[in-house]
Structure 1
Amino acid sequence: MDFTPTEEQSAVRELAGQIFGDLSTHERLAAAGTGTDAELWKALCGAGLVAAVEEVGLLGLVLALEEQGRTTAQVPFAASCVYGVLALTAHGTAEQRERLLPALREGGAVATGAFPASGGRVRATAEGEVTGVVPLVPWLRDATHVLVPDEERRLWLVRVADAEAEAVETTAPWSAGRLTLDGTRAERVGGAEAYEDVLATARTAFAGLQAGVCAGSLARAVQHTTTREQFGRPLSTNQGVLLRAADAYMDTEAIRVTSYEAAWRRDEGLPYGTHALTAAWWASEAGTRVVHAGQHLHGGLGADLEHPVHRHFLWGRQLDAHLGCGGELLAELGELIAAEKLAEKAEGRPPAERADRGEGVGA
């Protein structure tokens, strides 16, 4: 495997870093409150970053999302790219792509999704009428379309204007909402394989976002501990501080490399479901540790709700909730691995042969 970005992917990462760095400042975030930064979203779409995801793939998106996470920029970038652009590119019909993708690329339409850990139960009829309640959908207040899985793991695209959306406040300011469907008309997206692919794509993308959140939190902690002195020397010279920061760095790198691997495998057309679960587990478990460490290394300042590092703490905890409990992710991963081992045994095919053929468990 080769995680070296292509020229196009590197260009997307650099452009995203520049836009997020210039526009997602502490002052602008404070002014936005719990809302989305409309000017920043317009700048991202105008620069072609949403449209570019079709060309640079999931790895390119993960690289851009890292830059968003570093600044905790309040825009529905991950949601609209995963549940809209990538989902329709991979699983939409030619008519759906022609009708829906132009507005999604330009930002005139925004998509979101009612999973991976949104909860709720949704039923769908054969005629395409969906009913149910999803308690929390990220970025729903900004969305024009929401991708909803039903009990049979079929995907349905719903126009938010045809449903009932109620504002819900979350740990992080994600413009979330409660979605109520009552015989709402919807259109089917993809076949039986679409659910697993979109779920794995979402897990990978939001893990990449968490890598950026953690990197930003750690960078702030490093800057603080190297400039703040205690007893005549920087805090960073204390062994306890060094060890805590080192652990946070290793956790951040683990989130990054596992999300890169899962994204690379998807782009290469390889099975990546277990790899996405691995990235999600690291993002959930390790991500929580890192944002706690970033806050603690700031001492009393870390408890200030208006300090920038506190925003990283809130985002890290929200991503943990969105991806799902680490224990549940680990249990699901174990079940997938066990199922694969049973399949190998039934086929009489040794694991070495499976690896040679590039096969694996996943979507």
Structure 2
Amino acid sequence: MDFTPTEEQAAARDLAARIFGDLATHERLSAAGTGGDAELWKALCAAGLMGAVAETGLLGLVLLLEEQGRTTAQVPFAASGVYGLLAVAAHGSPEQRERLLPGIGDGTVVVCGAVSPPSPVRATDSGRLSGAVPVVPWLRDATHVLVADDRRRLWLVRTVDARCEPVELTAPWSAGRLTLEGTPGERLGERLGAGTVRERDGHTEGVHADVLATARTAFAGLQAGVCAGSLARAVEHTNTREQFGRPLATKQAVQLRAADAYLDTEAIRVTAYEAAWRRDEGLPYVTHALTAAWWASEAGRRVVHTGQHLHGGTGADLEHPVHRHFLWGRQLDAYLGCGDEVLQELGELLVRGEGGA
């Protein structure tokens, strides 16, 4: 395994860091409220960062999402990158790729996802979908939503054809409730046939399993950035805040909490890198994606709690920047799934010998 970024991946990461650093400021994030930052999204896509994911792969996307997580920038980069660009590029028909990928790359097409099982959506063979998904992150910013039905088939639905109602989450992710009432859907890769699978070193993975594992890996990478940002703020605070004439950072208890948070953050990062690298190399990676999701859920929660705790009373201020990291960390914990549930799914796959264990 070699997680060293390629020249293209490193260049994209550095450019993303500059754009997020310049535009995702505390003042702009506070002004955005619970909505997305349209100006920042336009700047990212104009710089070619979303389109670059087609070349840099899932590992490249994870690197970009780390930079987003450091600033908690309110743009649907993870959602559109996973459920849009990577899903269509890997599993879309030639016609779908030609029609959709340019728009996803330039940001005029934004795709969010409702693919986690079990699905409340039923679909007819003619492509009419019915059911309601209570929470879909970034639905309010999306032009399309990738929906899994109860048979784990994937459908692209235009949001203008569905009923979308705003829903507020712990983190400001422009979420919504999706209601489908005989809504037309377009089967992802339908021209490739209903049995479409992806070959990986002698293993086959269903389209749904591949997209779900890709999402888990990408959002774990986002959590790595959220945790790194929270820890960086805590380190800065404890180095400058004094108690009894000495910086808080000189206290052994503070050092131990920060060290544990650092190790947790690195565990999230390296497991996300491994899962992403394996996908890009065409290797089985479903169990590795679950491992990354577990670390992001369990360790991520610990890190953002530590970041807030090390700020002392300041961490209780809802307007302080570190509180936004806390909210994002807890939202990602919930989105990736309860740690025990993820661990159970991983264990079941290992027992069956599936997922490239």
Shared fold by TM > 0.5? yes
What is the SS of the residue equivalent to 2:105? helix
Residue 138 of structure 1 contacts residue 175 of structure 1 at CA under 8 Å; is this kept in 2? yes
Residue 351 of structure 2 is aligned to residue 338 of structure 1? yes
Residue 13 of structure 2 is aligned to residue 13 of structure 1? yes
Residue 283 of structure 2 is aligned to residue 283 of structure 1? no
Partner of 1:360: 356
Q: Deviations over 1:130-173 (max 9, x none)?
A: 11100000000000000000111110110010000000000000
Q: Deviations over 1:252-298 (max 9, x none)?
A: 00000000000000000000000000000000000000000000000
Residue 116 of structure 1 contacts residue 324 of structure 1 at CA under 8 Å; is this kept in 2? no
Residue 110 of structure 2 is aligned to residue 110 of structure 1? yes
Partner of 2:32: 32
d(CA) in 2 for partners of 1:126, 1:180: 19
What is the SS of the residue equivalent to 2:121? strand
5 Å matches for 1:216-227? 216-227=229-240
Residue 33 of structure 1 contacts residue 173 of structure 1 at CA under 8 Å; is this kept in 2? yes
Residue 115 of structure 1 contacts residue 137 of structure 1 at CA under 8 Å; is this kept in 2? no
Structure 2: give runs of 5+ residues left out of the alignment.
190-195, 198-205
Partner of 1:349: none
d(CA) in 2 for partners of 1:162, 1:213: 34
Residue 115 of structure 2 contacts residue 208 of structure 2 at CA under 8 Å; is this kept in 1? no
d(CA) in 2 for partners of 1:269, 1:120: 28
Partner of 2:95: 95
Residue 119 of structure 2 contacts residue 148 of structure 2 at CA under 8 Å; is this kept in 1? no
Partner of 1:237: 250
Partner of 2:175: 176
d(CA) in 1 for partners of 2:279, 2:100: 23
d(CA) in 1 for partners of 2:18, 2:6: 18
CA positional deviation for 1:102: 1.1
Residue 308 of structure 2 contacts residue 316 of structure 2 at CA under 8 Å; is this kept in 1? yes
Residue 116 of structure 1 contacts residue 203 of structure 1 at CA under 8 Å; is this kept in 2? no
d(CA) in 2 for partners of 1:178, 1:360: 35
What is the SS of the residue equivalent to 1:16? helix
Aligned AA (1:186): G
Residue 116 of structure 1 contacts residue 322 of structure 1 at CA under 8 Å; is this kept in 2? no
What is the SS of the residue equivalent to 1:172? coil
Residue 116 of structure 1 contacts residue 323 of structure 1 at CA under 8 Å; is this kept in 2? no
Aligned AA (2:26): H
Aligned AA (1:18): R
Residue 307 of structure 2 is aligned to residue 316 of structure 1? no
Partner of 2:131: 132
d(CA) in 1 for partners of 2:10, 2:57: 12
- List structure 1 runs of 4+ shifted beyond 3 angstroms: none
Residue 45 of structure 2 is aligned to residue 67 of structure 1? no
What is the SS of the residue equivalent to 2:34? coil
What is the SS of the residue equivalent to 1:134? strand
TM-score for the superposition, normalised by structure 2? 0.95
d(CA) in 1 for partners of 2:138, 2:12: 23
Residue 66 of structure 1 contacts residue 213 of structure 1 at CA under 8 Å; is this kept in 2? yes
Residue 133 of structure 1 contacts residue 178 of structure 1 at CA under 8 Å; is this kept in 2? yes
d(CA) in 2 for partners of 1:96, 1:237: 57
Residue 29 of structure 1 contacts residue 73 of structure 1 at CA under 8 Å; is this kept in 2? yes
d(CA) in 1 for partners of 2:52, 2:314: 39
d(CA) in 2 for partners of 1:298, 1:95: 52
CA positional deviation for 1:109: 1.1
Alpha-carbon RMSD: 1.1
Residue 134 of structure 1 contacts residue 180 of structure 1 at CA under 8 Å; is this kept in 2? yes
Structure 1: give runs of 5+ residues left out of the alignment.
344-358
d(CA) in 2 for partners of 1:116, 1:183: 21
CA positional deviation for 1:115: 3.3
Q: How many residues align?
A: 343
Partner of 1:86: 86
Partner of 2:200: none
5 Å matches for 1:246-285? 246-285=259-298
CA positional deviation for 1:100: 1.0
Aligned AA (1:142): D
d(CA) in 2 for partners of 1:153, 1:115: 8
What is the SS of the residue equivalent to 1:59? helix
